[in-house]
Amino acid sequence: MTHATQKVALVTGASRGIGRAIAQKLAADGFAVVVNYAGSASLAEQAVADIEANGGRALAVQADIADPDAVERLFAQALETFGRLDVVVNNAGILQMARITTDNVGLLDKTLLTNLRGSWLVMAKAAEVLEEGGRIIALSSSVLGKSFPGYGAYIASKAGVEGLVKVLANELRGRKIAVNGVAPGPVATELFFTGKSEEQVQSIANLAPFERLGQPDEIADAVAFLAGPQGGWVNGQILRVNGGMV
């Protein structure tokens, strides 16, 4: 395949966890991949090296998705290096637990900054530059269906993301670009394990009839479906991928 015809995907937060699995899967499916990260330069370079070792093409780009200038630079570097963009996956996100109290409003601001403002910026830029037939995929969370105590800021941010997905799908009328969300249940990553006891982890894992956590690869498979030829007629939807948790 020549460089001009190879499709290109950009994945935010692809240095580790679910994003890294998505980058790897899309590379295996034939995309050149932009591996975005916030601070983990060596992990991102490792992800790129893994893709290249399997015969793929990839580029690591640092950018805080909540910063408009950084997002501008991220997309510019992607286009400069690979010449086109077909798929953008906004996966970068943070989770910090806090109950809904006046004291915790700073945590709401911080969560919205990355998860909602970051999604807005990445999805907006994707809408601007994607090729016809392009796909935008945003990561939400199945925890919206559970409303657990302590998840207020996170759920508010992801409810916002689901809103953006549906509105943007309508705003892109005539462009042949599909916009969808993927809402994982609990997945074995740093984001999920941080701050939880072994007992808490087990009881959350048991919520799904399959009685286990999801793996990053299982989320990547759903994203790859939406990004690939078989997902073309899915638009404006939120796909829950959670082993039946909700």
Catalytic residues: 154
94/129 with CB nearer ligand NDP: 94
The distance of Cα 80 from the centroid of its chain, to the nearest Å, equals 22
User: Which of 115, 40, 44, 36 has the alpha carbon at shortest distance from 73?
Assistant: 36
127/191 with CB nearer ligand NDP: 191
Q: Report, in Å, the least distance between residue 230 CB and ligand NDP.
A: 22
Q: Report, in Å, the least distance between residue 214 CB and ligand NDP.
A: 7
Structure tokens at 26: 């899309």
29/67 with CB nearer ligand NDP: 67
Q: Report, in Å, the least distance between residue 47 CB and ligand NDP.
A: 9
- The answer to whether the CB of 142 falls within 8 A of the CB of 184 is yes
Cβ-based neighbour number of residue 72 at 10 Å:
13
Rounded to whole angstroms, the Cα distance separating 62 from 40 reads: 9
Residue 71: which residues within 8 A CB-CB, separation 6 or more?
63, 65, 121, 122, 125
Q: Report, in Å, the least distance between residue 139 CB and ligand NDP.
A: 4
65/169 with CB nearer ligand NDP: 65
Residues lying near ligand NDP in the complex (CB under 6 A): 12-19, 36-40, 43, 64-66, 91-95, 114, 118, 139, 141, 184, 186-187, 189-192
Residue 228: which residues within 8 A CB-CB, separation 6 or more?
29
Residue 217: which residues within 8 A CB-CB, separation 6 or more?
21, 25
Q: Which residue(s) pair with 184 in the sheet?
A: 241
